[in-house]
Structure 1
Amino acid sequence: MDAELVALAAGGASALVGAMVTDAWAQAKEQIVELWRRHRPVQAEAVEGELDVSQGELSARSAADELLRARIEGRWQGRLERLLEESSEAAADLRQATDLMVRLASESGSRPVVQNVRAGRDAYTAARDLNVNVKRHDAGGGS
């Protein structure tokens, strides 16, 4: 596959996964589903379901979970690469969809936040949801 198409698929996947954690998600999802409707209509419904699953996985975890984000992004990059291999006309549509997803995500003002905290004792910080699990150990070796 042409390096330019690989880069296009990577950019599209990045924009898509980035939009999953913003207010622009519904519009971004519609862009990708419409891409499949135009180029692989038989797969469009399945793609829509997979988008919902991916977004649900990401939403259920911290937006800063980079390993999960990378896995989901890789999954969508692969799907986009296959679409580009199967349909030469899909490249222009993916470029347009990617540009729109990037613009929508930046306009939504909602972006993932990564916070790194170092503390000698307890420290809590949150941009949205916060789950705190505390394990207490006594000095006698019991739990």
Structure 2
Amino acid sequence: MDPQIADLARTAGTTMVTLMATTAWESARDGLVSLWQRVQPNRADGIGEEFEASRDDLLLARETGDEDSEAELAAEWQGRVRRLLVAQPEVADELRRILDELSPRIPDQRPAVGEIRMTAEASGSGRVYQAGRDQHITER
């Protein structure tokens, strides 16, 4: 299998599931359903209903603390998108365009960090370099 198809399917599945719990959900769903309508019109209505059912599952999982469901839903949608791309590889560019339009709406996934306390001790001519994030050191 083409690794680009697998990567694109992985990105699409993860993006869709991530957006299911955001205000951007409707436009994300509409974009993918319209893609399905164009290439597999007989399945488009069912795909729309499956997106809605997946969203309901995700919201319930988040309410109940079921952390595994989100990964399972992403894997499920990755598989569906991958099968679509294998059957219709010409839609890859359109899918990339849809994902590019959605990418600014993806919430920041960085974990929240509370307090960080760092301590260090150097002796003699030793040096200590600490950073809470990026650090660039240029010594000459």
TM-score over 0.5 for the pair? yes
AA partner of residue 85 (structure 1): V
Q: Residue in 1 aligned with 2:56?
A: 56
1:55 & 1:102 partners in 2: Cα distance?
18
Q: Residue in 2 aligned with 1:76?
A: 77
- Closer/same/farther in 2, CA of residues 103 and 29 from structure 1, 3 Å limit: same
Give, in angstroms, the shift of residue 24 of structure 1: 0.3
Q: Residue in 2 aligned with 1:88?
A: 89
Q: Which runs of 5+ in 1 are unaligned?
A: 116-143
Contact 1:23 1:105 in 2 (8 A): no
Provide runs of 4+ in structure 1 moved above 4 Å: 111-115
Map 1:2-81 → 2, pairs under 5 A: 2-62=2-62, 65-81=66-82
Map 1:122-141 → 2, pairs under 5 A: none
AA partner of residue 55 (structure 2): Q
Give the alignment's Cα RMSD to 1 decimal: 2.3
Contact 1:21 1:112 in 2 (8 A): no
AA partner of residue 76 (structure 1): W
Q: Which runs of 5+ in 2 are unaligned?
A: 113-140
Map 1:113-128 → 2, pairs under 5 A: none
Contact 2:33 2:48 in 1 (8 A): yes
2:95 & 2:67 partners in 1: Cα distance?
24
1:91 & 1:30 partners in 2: Cα distance?
17
Q: Residue in 2 aligned with 1:129?
A: none
AA partner of residue 32 (structure 2): I
Contact 2:61 2:67 in 1 (8 A): no
Q: Percent identity?
A: 31
AA partner of residue 77 (structure 2): W
Q: Residue in 2 aligned with 1:125?
A: none
In the comparison of the two structures, how many residue pairs are matched?
A: 112
